[in-house]
Amino acid sequence: MTMHLLRPLAVFLAAYSLHLGYITVFYHRALAHRAVRLQPATLRFVLATGNWVTGLDPKAWACMHRMHHAFSDGPDDPHSPAQAGVLGVLVAQLRAYERTLYGLLGRHPDYLRHVQDLDFPVHWLNRHGLWWLPYALHTAAAVLLGYAGGWGFGLAYFAGLMSHPIEGWVINALGHAVGPRNFETPDDSRNPWLAALLIGGEGLQNNHHRFPASARFSYRWWEPDAGFMLCRALEKAGALTIERGRLLPRPGAPVIPTTQA
């Protein structure tokens, strides 16, 4: 592979890693499940910047995800292949996010009850109808980067930072349709290994649905979970604290009761 291809790849990986770090650590493990406790300054930073980086409101994302756990693979699951089909999940998750966002903005009790503990509002961008602004800015940045360094750079930047629809589809569709299971759960969650490798451990859906309050998604030593590695690095940097009493056990250890968080 020549440097001509390596440089756009490096841009993609940097943008993708930034986006994925926000989603898997801050939105998912911290806000949705309280599996890690963000320091006050970290929380303020995430709430201020998250919507700009990902294009997704942190409270709406956490609410939709909690609803997914509450109704996993049932009729009210916002994005289940059991309801929408494997391919249909791609559209179902986008519609579910929109419904959740406007449900929170309209203070609908069916949505508010899932986020009563999250004492921060929907981001001001969404409260003022400016949900499109982060996408416009990232598009402009991609065009400028492409103009300055070549269109491969611009496309790599945009694809990496705006990758959530594809990530979400792989996790929500394949993670509930294909792959092995370590635990019996009421849903059809599974552990597609390749998805876990590529998406920060998020593909380990069966492990996660059995122990949703655990910051670590890997059960067996060889199951990839880069998101937990990032949690550990951020803990050492003083940005957050891992709730170690809630970590899922390793094979052979006693299985402790857990609650949906």
**How many domains does the structure of the chain reveal?**
1
Q: 133-144: per-residue pLDDT in tens? A: 999 999 999 999
DSSP state of 245: G
Name the strand (E) or helix (H) holding 242: strand 240-242
Per-residue pLDDT tens digits for 33-47: 999 999 999 999 999
How far is Cα 51 from Cα 12, in angstroms, rounded to an integer? 19
Mean pLDDT of the chain: 95
Mean pLDDT of 185-207: 97
| Cα separation, 137 vs 131, whole angstroms | 11
Is residue 259 a part of any domain in this protein? no
For residue 82, give the 3-state DSSP assignment: helix
- Per-residue confidence at 196, pLDDT binned at 50, 70, 90? very high
pLDDT of residue 253: 63
Query: In whole angstroms, how far apart are CA 182 and each of 29, 86, 208?
Result: 20, 22, 10
pLDDT of residue 76: 96
pLDDT digits (tens, 9 = 90+) for 50-69: 999 999 999 999 999 999 99
Calculate what percentage of the chain has a pLDDT beyond 90: 91
On whether residue 84 sits in a domain, the answer given is no
CA-based nearest residue to 228, from 209, 210, 253, 208: 208
Q: Which residue has the higher pLDDT, 195 or 149?
A: 195
Query: Does position 261 have pLDDT exceeding 70, yes or no?
Result: no
**Domain hosting residue 185, numbered range:** 3-56+133-246
Q: Does residue 179 register a pLDDT over 80?
A: yes
